[in-house]
Structure 1
Amino acid sequence: MRMFVMFNLKPGVEVADYEEWTKTRDMPNVRSLMSIKDFRVFGVTGLFGSDAKPPFQYVEVIDIVEIDEFLKDIDTPAMKEVTGEFEKWTDSPVFLTTNELLVA
């Protein structure tokens, strides 16, 4: 399963502070989980073919090996701390779970 997390920073949050936190705290912790195959964070740079402002500043891409194991992993005290920090930085994140379509 691949999860996409799209979000903006809360008003008053400095981009440099958030990006330092995600590089030093969020990414290492999430990547250390046995239920995670890959975890990447992207800064949104624009809307293709448009000058309009993108609806989100960031997109996380989380490749989950097994959802039940992931749910157990994020229920640990250490990950509850990290997710609590994430909630302090972000404004109403949207979590999309997906399955890749098999094309013949």
Structure 2
Amino acid sequence: MSELDPVIHAQARLRVVVTLATLADGDRITFPRLQELLAMTPGNLSVHLRKLEDAGYVEIDKTHRGRTPTTLVRLSRRGRRAFEEYTENIRALLDPPAPRETR
């Protein structure tokens, strides 16, 4: 059995990744909306997003809507694969294969 990904496994980062994984592949969410959904402070969310970004699991785009700065966040392909592997490993922990009979 593989180990759980420590980047994703931290509770706050797991909540971020789960939320981003609900978006369609390539869809993005604004930082304030993500913050609202997760009930996290801007600083706390920023720290966890940085860790996920450093691992290549999220992509962050800073842009403008009109004159207003906007930060958009999405799960990268690598992040989506890592989350899929993470959930497979959790399922294996929760429902291990039956032991083989010995004769």
TM over 0.5: no
Q: Which has the higher strand share?
A: 1
Q: Which structure has more RCO (C-alpha within 8 Å, separation ≥ 6)?
A: 1
Greater C-alpha radius of gyration: 2
Structure with a larger share of its residues in helix: 2
